[in-house]
A and B are shown apart, each in its own frame.
Chain A
Amino acid sequence: MATTSHPAISARGKYEPVIGLEVHVQLLTASKMFCSCANRFGDAPNTNVCPVCLGLPGALPVLNSKGVEFAVLAAMALNCRINETSIFARKNYFYPDLPKGYQISQYDKPLAEFGHVNITVGGVTKKIGITRLHLEEDAGKSLHEGFPGASETTAVDLNRSGVPLIEIVSEPDLASPDEAYEYLTRLKEIILYTGVSDCNMEEGSLRCDANISVKPKGQKQFGTKTEVKNVNSFRFVREALEYEIERHIEVIESGGKITQESRLYNSAEGKTYGMRSKEQAHDYRYFPEPDLLPLVVDEKWQSQIRATLPELPEALRARLIADYGITAQDAAVLTISRSLADQFEAAAKAAKNPKRVANLVQSEILGRLKAKNLEIDHSPISMKGVAASADLMESGAISSKMLKDLYDLAFEQNKDFPTIYEEAGRPEQSRDTGALEKIIDEVIAANPKQLEQYRGGKKTVIAFFVGQVMKASKGQANPQMVNDLLAKKLDA
């Protein structure tokens, strides 16, 4: 009996996945969106609450202008067009962590539209459209387990109720789980650079819902989609999408139909499960929020906000590559956070030779980090330390061999370079011309053939002599001195 491949796997090539993502990001305002309770994670339950966020009758929302600024800043960073006038709308549904019975959101007139994020997967760069970015408020938090009586009751903490959120909806432009992963990575990076959110997925400040459907290759019309809700890591989003694609294809190939529904991903099992939700739960009966004025962000306010937009990762990488001659890969590492990139630039600029700092990070730091399985923001040698060592090399005080040894010590003892350098007694490479001259004389004497070539006009042979002298001095000699002395003696 011949082996038969799994039906879904063999059918995979016949189908194209279509993926769109909805990302919710909490904004780092001091207070909530529509009341002045603290927007703070981790406080004692139900302590940052007031009549507005508890949904008590008669309480009225008042807009937090910082929340608007942060949302606009994020929208600008994502290349969106800002709608000068947008309006708030009520999204009506019943759930215990939504005390008002509606969420203040935006519907037919969102704050921003028509943005995009560039992603690169497998060397190919692709523009992923952002349909809309709108402002809304978070709901409270329901706890289903981990407390006495959890089998009969659900506990509700309303500290999160009313925390400002932006919802970022992508176009269905993503064609694979890898593209979805890359989109989320780039999106998070951009948001982090703007500083409007900490994007901490464990604390729920960034959350993702994924819409997925498959269609026969080449077909224009999309298949029926499912929505995988509230996946709490990018890796799990990718896994959940992989699973859903396989599942959709299997259902379709065996003659079945995909039901449009919300599903939950169980990361321990690597499977998604349909949620038992009422069909009509999706009828949210949106209508304009009568308690809030239209949101007007005119050109003047927009330009004030635009002035606070920092250099974004894509532009920053391009500039670092151009300014410091580093590779694209290293630029990617140095820009994993805005603070690291700032540290690098500050150190590089303070050093006598900025390029040397970039080169040291590239040739001496990254490899050692990888060997110790460390992220660069946990490097024992700080960017300042790299700059200090670069200056010592630049002035000829230490050789590259010595630098390597000191770096090894720094990584071994988890100390920064200046400390290690002090502890090692501020070592200096030999500048004793007497000893060096002796080595040079010996090297010249041992290589009469090369000497003859040099004197015959082949001046490039000096590189050979430099190499031999460095070797004989065990890397301790100052290359500049070796060069100068050698030239003097060879030309004599």
Chain B
Amino acid sequence: MKVTEKDVSYVADLANLELTEDERTRMVRDLNSILGHIDNLNELDTANVPPMAQVSELYGVDRSKTGCERFMYASREDVIEGLRKCLPHDEALANAPSSDGTYFKVPKVIER
């Protein structure tokens, strides 16, 4: 599979990125080199390896436990502000490019 300029333009568009001609050429080259590396990995026979969404599934869990208990360390009880306090209202809005002191303000959105 080879990444084309058209693919790069499409993905850039989805990601709201405006690329210059040079950047686009570089992206095509970089992405193809990454996919080339993946092709190397594809030489391995993984027919009997179950798909894994992420490595912490294997290396992050509490291995002394079984079943869902192994994963529980990464969840929490349903307690309001049990993890951390909410941000004070003014602090929450402080870094917004635009706000009216109550809401975040953005340029008019028509429809999704």
A residues with a Cβ closer than 8 A to B are: 29-31, 35-38, 44-51, 54, 62-68, 87, 92, 94-96, 109, 142-144, 147-149, 151-158, 262, 264, 275-277, 280-281, 283, 285, 288, 290, 292-301
Contact A63 B82 (CB under 8 A): no
Contact A301 B76 (CB under 8 A): no
6 contacts between A and B (CB under 8 A): A46-B103, A149-B105, A155-B102, A293-B60, A294-B53, A298-B67
What is the minimal beta-carbon distance from A160 to any residue of chain B, in angstroms?
13
- CB-contacts of B7-25 with A (<8 A): 10, 13-14, 16
What is the minimal beta-carbon distance from A230 to any residue of chain B, in angstroms?
9
Contact B53 A96 (CB under 8 A): no
Chain A residues contacting B66 (CB-CB under 8 Å) are 298
| B44 in the interface (beta carbon within 8 A) | no
Cα(A149)–Cα(B75), bound, Å: 42
A49-B92, A67-B78 are contacts. A298–B83 as well, Cβ < 8 Å?
no
- CB-contacts of B40-83 with A (<8 A): 53-54, 56-57, 60-61, 66-68, 70-72, 74-83
Contact B111 A142 (CB under 8 A): no
Contact B100 A155 (CB under 8 A): yes
Contact B109 A154 (CB under 8 A): yes
Residue of A nearest to B95 (CB): A56
* Given A62-B76, A95-B109, A157-B103, 11 additional A-B pairs, CB 8 A: A36-B80, A46-B102, A62-B83, A63-B74, A68-B75, A92-B14, A143-B103, A155-B100, A156-B106, A293-B57, A298-B66
Total B residues in contact with A, Cβ cutoff 8 Å: 46
Cα(A62)–Cα(B79), bound, Å: 12
Contact A294 B104 (CB under 8 A): no
Chain A residues contacting B6 (CB-CB under 8 Å) are none
The A interface, classified by DSSP as helix, strand, loop or mixed, is loop
Question: Contact partner of B109 among A35, A96, A158, CB < 8 A?
Answer: A96
Contact A300 B111 (CB under 8 A): no
| B37 in the interface (beta carbon within 8 A) | no
Contact A155 B57 (CB under 8 A): no
Chain A residues contacting B74 (CB-CB under 8 Å) are 62-63, 292-293
A293-B61, A294-B71, A296-B67 are contacts. A154–B107 as well, Cβ < 8 Å?
yes
Question: Contact partner of B108 among A29, A154, A298, CB < 8 A?
Answer: A154
Contact A44 B89 (CB under 8 A): yes
What is the minimal beta-carbon distance from B49 to any residue of chain A, in angstroms?
15
Residue of A nearest to B104 (CB): A156
What is the minimal beta-carbon distance from B87 to any residue of chain A, in angstroms?
6
Contact B109 A296 (CB under 8 A): no
Chain A residues contacting B54 (CB-CB under 8 Å) are 288, 290, 293-294
Chain B residues contacting A64 (CB-CB under 8 Å) are 75-76, 78
Contact A277 B104 (CB under 8 A): no
Question: Contact partner of B13 among A66, A280, A290, A301, CB < 8 A?
Answer: A280
A46-B92, A46-B104, A152-B107 are contacts. A35–B53 as well, Cβ < 8 Å?
no
Residue of B nearest to A273 (CB): B111
A156-B105, A297-B68 are contacts. A275–B111 as well, Cβ < 8 Å?
yes
Cα(A328)–Cα(B12), bound, Å: 59
Residue of A nearest to B72 (CB): A65
Question: Contact partner of B56 among A30, A293, A298, CB < 8 A?
Answer: A293
Which 10 pairs across A and B sit closest by C-beta, in order of nearness?
A66-B78, A298-B67, A155-B103, A288-B53, A36-B83, A63-B75, A156-B104, A96-B106, A154-B109, A298-B68
Question: Contact partner of A66 among B77, B84, B85, B93, CB < 8 A?
Answer: B77
What is the minimal beta-carbon distance from A162 to any residue of chain B, in angstroms?
11
Contact A151 B68 (CB under 8 A): no
